């Protein structure tokens, strides 16, 4: 590589770093805003036992991977599974908390914990907690969940 080529390459990399910083910050803020509204949206949809809103925030090729490693993929399979889970679980309150959110190469990675609290017929409360990882991708310019990992 000659000196001119090396200089051009260094200058190009420097310009890319200089101008991509704000773009990445904007991209991250967009992901964070979508994630914030999605976590609230999910809590409400789960408590109301409505699987359609949950499915609307997933990419067309999304998959849910349970804590036991079972992969649930495809719109009808996910709808059937979510409906069954909502029906069998009874009434409960949901709390979802994010631990981390990162953007790497236009893919979002989010981790957190969820707590399900269910009031039993005898008046006692049953609590289930778990961890989750969400992988976010843009589909048609909108951030959507591509993989949901660690869900019961």
Average pLDDT, the chain: 81
- Local confidence band at 113 (pLDDT 50, 70, 90 cut-offs): very high
| DSSP H stretches of helix in the chain | 3-47, 51-56, 75-89
Full domain range(s) for residue 56: 3-151
The answer to whether the beta carbons of residues 81 and 64 sit under 8 Å apart is yes
**In the predicted structure, residue 18 carries a pLDDT above the cut 50:** no
Residue 62 CB neighbours (<10 A): 21
Whichever domain contains 19, its CATH number is 3.10.450.50
Of the segments 12-21, 63-72, 108-117, 120-129, which one has the largest average pLDDT value? 108-117
Q: How are beta strands 92-104 and 125-139 bridged, if at all?
A: unpaired
Q: How many domains does the chain have?
A: 1
- Local confidence band at 16 (pLDDT 50, 70, 90 cut-offs): very low
Query: Which residues face 116 on adjacent strands?
Result: 94, 128
pLDDT in tens, 20-74: 444 567 889 999 999 998 888 888 887 788 888 888 899 999 998 887 888 989 8
Sign, CA dihedral 118-120-126-130, equals: negative
**In the predicted structure, residue 87 carries a pLDDT above the cut 80:** no
Query: Which residues face 72 on adjacent strands?
Result: 64
Give the span between the Cα atoms of 134 and 146, in whole angstroms.
Answer: 7
Q: How many residues are there in the chain?
A: 152
145: nearest Cα among 107, 94, 93:
107
Residue recorded with tokens 């009808």: 76
pLDDT (average), residues 66-91: 81
């Amino acid at each position: 590589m000659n000196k001119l080529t090396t200089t051009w390459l260094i200058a190009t990399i420097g310009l890319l770093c200089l101008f991509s910083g704000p773009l990445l910050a904007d991209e991250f803020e967009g992901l964070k805003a979508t994630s914030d509204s999605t976590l609230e949206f999910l809590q409400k949809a789960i408590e109301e036992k409505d699987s359609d809103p949950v499915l609307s925030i997933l990419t067309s090729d999304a998959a849910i991977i349970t804590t036991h490693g079972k992969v649930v993929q495809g719109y009808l399979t996910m709808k059937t599974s979510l409906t069954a889970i909502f029906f069998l679980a009874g009434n409960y309150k949901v709390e979802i908390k994010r631990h981390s959110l990162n953007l790497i190469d236009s893919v979002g990675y989010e981790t957190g914990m969820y707590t399900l609290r269910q009031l039993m017929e005898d008046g006692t409360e049953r609590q289930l907690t778990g961890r989750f990882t969400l992988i976010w991708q843009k589909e048609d310019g909108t951030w959507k969940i591509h993989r949901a990992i660690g869900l019961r």
